[in-house]
Amino acid sequence: MQADKAEDDAAALDAQARAWLRRLRSGAATERDAREFKAWCARSPAHRRTLARAEQAWRAIGQAQACYEEMFPERRGQAAALLRRQAPVESRRRFLRGAAVAGAAAALAAVTLRPPLHLWPSLQDMAADHRTATGEQARLALAGNLELLLNTQTSIDIARGAGPAGGDRILLIDGEVALRRQPGAGQVEIVAGGGRIVPGDGAVEVRRAGTRYCVTCTAGEARLAHASGTMALRQRERVWYDRQGVGPAGAVDLEVASAWQHGQLLFRAVPLREAVDEINRYRRGRVMVSNQELASRRLSGQFRIADLDEAIRHIQQIYHAQVTRLPGGFVILG
């Protein structure tokens, strides 16, 4: 009886998850939906595990399908059907549960992909313990007299007491964080992709950029632990890494790198296309450059994050660029 009740509870949880996924992928989800979904995820570890299992199941299906289609390109598109035919069925109830999980996984994949142009938060972002919207920043107090600064479009989970020496463990889901650790403060670690960053006495910034991650030591020292090895970083050093490996450490201009912590964006002879990408991280809507010659020009200047239209006016003036403004904060530079 208890086993049957447990399966019924799990099936009900799967159904709730599917209902949330349908709502979130409908295209009509609101900020209220996001808050209610976050509250649903926070009800119990089982709620979060349901989503995690579904995502893992979908990834496994996707990997199997990709492998099959690579081996048999003439049968492209048939892999999903083949996987369904060969799925083991032990009982009707278990089959129905498996189908529910697979359905949730398929829906989950549709909404956990990075949204186009970062115009709305992903499902992972909405389920995060803490997140910031475009142009927003936030400060969080951690155990051991530590403070964490979240940059724009950032989402994190925090496992209290799960880090070294009982300190906090921070999981960077997306975006960028900065952490300063004073002498005598508690221990903490930041997990980002395939890397684990442990700050010493000093400060670090950790950023996700697609499938790559960046660690900048802005003061003191820090250590990056990765499957390919461990690297020590000192002040003014930065390193990029991904799942496959870690690149070499290089020098960084801290005034530029950390300007965001002071509410500024600082550019020094940066190609305009790169400057616009950075502006888009902080500004609602989207700025696009339609002229390749203009995109290759270099931009220098310091701009307030609270008023990045100032940067657009600056570009218009110094390059005599044509500016087309569209609803929703979209701007085309040509």
Q: What angle do CA 136, 137, 138 make, to 5 degrees?
A: 130
pTM for the full predicted model: 0.67
First to last CA, the chain: 69
- DSSP string computed for 226-264: ETTEEEEEETTEEEEE-SS-B---EE--HHHHTGGGGTE
Q: What is the CATH number of domain 263-333?
A: 3.55.50.30
Q: What's the pLDDT score for residue 63?
A: 52
135-256 topology per CATH? Jelly Rolls (2.60.120)
Q: What is the pLDDT of residue 116?
A: 52
Q: How confident is the model at residue 100 (pLDDT cuts 50, 70, 90)?
A: very low
- Per DSSP, which regions of the chain are E strands? 130-131, 138-142, 146-150, 155-159, 168-174, 176-181, 188-192, 195-209, 212-226, 229-234, 237-241, 250-251, 264-271, 286-289, 298-304, 323-326, 330-333
Q: Where are the domains of the chain?
A: 2-126, 135-256, 263-333
Q: How many CA atoms lie within 13 A of 125 on its CB side?
A: 24
Banded pLDDT at 187 (limits 50, 70, 90): confident
Check: CB of residue 238 under 8 Å from CB of residue 215: yes
- pLDDT value at residue 183: 82
Checking if the pLDDT of 109 tops 50, the result is: no
Which residues have C-beta within 8 Å of that of residue 258, sequence separation ≥ 6? 178, 205, 216, 218
Count of C-beta atoms within a 10 Å radius of residue 167: 21
Contact 242, 194 (CB under 8 A): yes
Coil/strand/helix, residue 154: coil
Rg, C-alpha atoms of the chain: 23
